[in-house]
Amino acid sequence: MGKAQHRWRQAAERAAWAGAVVLLLAWQTSVWAFVEWYHRRTGPHVRMVSLAAGVLHVAWSEGSAAGACDWRLEAHWDREPLRGLAWWPRWERSSWPGDAAYVSVSLPLWMPAAAGLGMAGWMSLRRAGRARRLASGRCPRCGYDLRGLGPGAERCPECGGRRAG
């Protein structure tokens, strides 16, 4: 594996760990805090992104027109933590009589956090296995024992991978 590819893998692993930690912190904080970023025009049209009760919630009116936006940010501590804590994603489309139809999508933050932790853990385990194989004189790609080969052998006879340094 070349140095550029090695650096890329290290950067991807660090980014996966950082993203998972940020999502876990956002999930934990959103249980106690409520943050909403919304735009409301005159009438029933609304666009909204909120983070509360461990859920990222996006909602919009189907009739909302594009144009100048007057976005507002609202944040406060939730007086009833764990109220409405969601465990599964939800998609909803509804309307009330005399009101515009709206669509809302809710995604519990534990789901992308778990996926990020799983990916970061998998990348770390692969890196640790590769380092262990290199230290024991094996091919970093397939694990074939390279100790019996002469010093001039550049490739693994089993998989054709380059012999590490």
> One-letter amino acid identity for 94?
S
Judged against a pLDDT cut of 80, whether residue 76 lies above it is answered with: no
**What range does the domain containing 83 cover?**
13-113
pLDDT score of 165? 57
pLDDT score of 57? 84
3 lies in a domain? Answer: no
Q: What is the mean pLDDT of the chain?
A: 78
69 lies in a domain? Answer: yes
35 lies in a domain? Answer: yes
Specify the number of domains making up the chain: 1
Using CA atoms, how far residue 7 sits from 14, 91, 163, in Å, is: 11, 39, 18
Judged against a pLDDT cut of 80, whether residue 97 lies above it is answered with: no
Give the dihedral sign, CA 106/120/12/26: positive
Structure confidence by residue, pLDDT tens digits, 9-25: 889 999 999 999 998 88
85 lies in a domain? Answer: yes
107 lies in a domain? Answer: yes
Number of helical (H) and strand (E) elements in the chain, helices listed first: 2, 6
Residues 6+ apart with CB under 8 A from 77: 32, 33, 34
102 lies in a domain? Answer: yes
Report which of 156, 124, 154, 126 is spatially closest to residue 138, judged by C-alpha positions: 156
Q: Which residue has the higher pLDDT, 38 or 145?
A: 145
92 lies in a domain? Answer: yes
And the tokens for 116? 């990020």
pTM for the whole thing? 0.66
8 lies in a domain? Answer: no
- Please give the Cα distance from 28 to 11 (Å, whole number): 26
- Please give the Cα distance from 102 to 90 (Å, whole number): 14
Q: Where are the alpha helices (DSSP H) in 42-135?
A: 110-135
